[in-house]
Amino acid sequence: MGMIELRTPAEIEEMRPAGRFVASVLEATAAAAGVGVNLLELDALAHELIRKAGAESCYIDYHPSFGASPFGKVICTSVNDAVLHGLPFDYRLRDGDLLSLDFAASVNGWVSDSALSIVVGTPRDGDLRLIDTTQRALEAGIAAARVGNRIGEISRAIGDIAKAAGYAVNTDFGGHGVGRTMHGDPHVANSGRPGRGLPLKPGLVIAIEPWFLETTDRIFTDPDGWTLRSADGSRGAHSEHTIAITDGDPIVLTQRD
């Protein structure tokens, strides 16, 4: 594990504009996502909002070890059996599509990262249940993000919600530290044991991001080199907030209206 950075209360205040901006872009792109709308149009909308705000994309030049090439777009659009890192492409949304939007940006040198899932047009009950489970798991994870607990308490809270709903949990990709860059330590797995991992201290800023697939915990990388899809074609959903741990309640920096 690399260095864990704790932020001062003043720095957490400085992070709020990034959180508000990221929340606003997710709201705008989710509102724009309708039947017949192209994923590239959603990316163009996010790009324009970044430009207007004088913000910086965390994705466009992003090239980690698991990515085939720099991402090249500014928002992740994962549809149906895609759940993470969905690279926007020339695809028009269809009635009943399950769309996950994941967005991170830097404002004044501070990053926030957040995600949500929606159904375009007519929803299927299974999709609504899957989305609701990720949202409840996110809330449970945030509730466990308190001084005196460890990362393991957050992980267990998320995993318990998933398992109670009958979903398996993949721990390859999960939450992470957030600060001047998008991904830092610690890793926050979506399942785990209490009493394990880093002790939570005031000033720790992390993204918590439950994502579940309907009938598997196995994923593979699409030929685009980025998009992660379920191994069995079942659908996925994803919910994420950037939060700051304090002496009291955690602050949800990416809270949407």
Would you say 14 is a known binding-site residue?
no
User: Is 240 annotated as a binding-site member?
Assistant: yes
Residue 238 marked ligand-binding: no
DSSP class of residue 38 equals B
Length of the chain: 257
**Among 61, 40, 68, 45, residue whose Cα is nearest residue 106:** 61
- The response to whether 5 counts as a known ligand-binding position is no
Q: Which residues pair with 1 in a beta bridge?
A: none
Going 127 to 132 to 135 to 141, the CA torsion angle's sign is negative
The verdict on whether residue 11 carries a ligand-binding annotation is no
- The reply to whether 85 sits in an annotated binding site is yes
Is 13 annotated as contributing to ligand binding?
no
Both tokens of residue 66? 């698991």
End-to-end CA distance of the chain: 35
Query: 3-class SS at 132?
Result: helix
Specify binding-site residues for substrate.
85, 183
Specify binding-site residues.
85, 102, 113, 176, 183, 209, 240
Specify binding-site residues for a divalent metal cation.
102, 113, 176, 209, 240
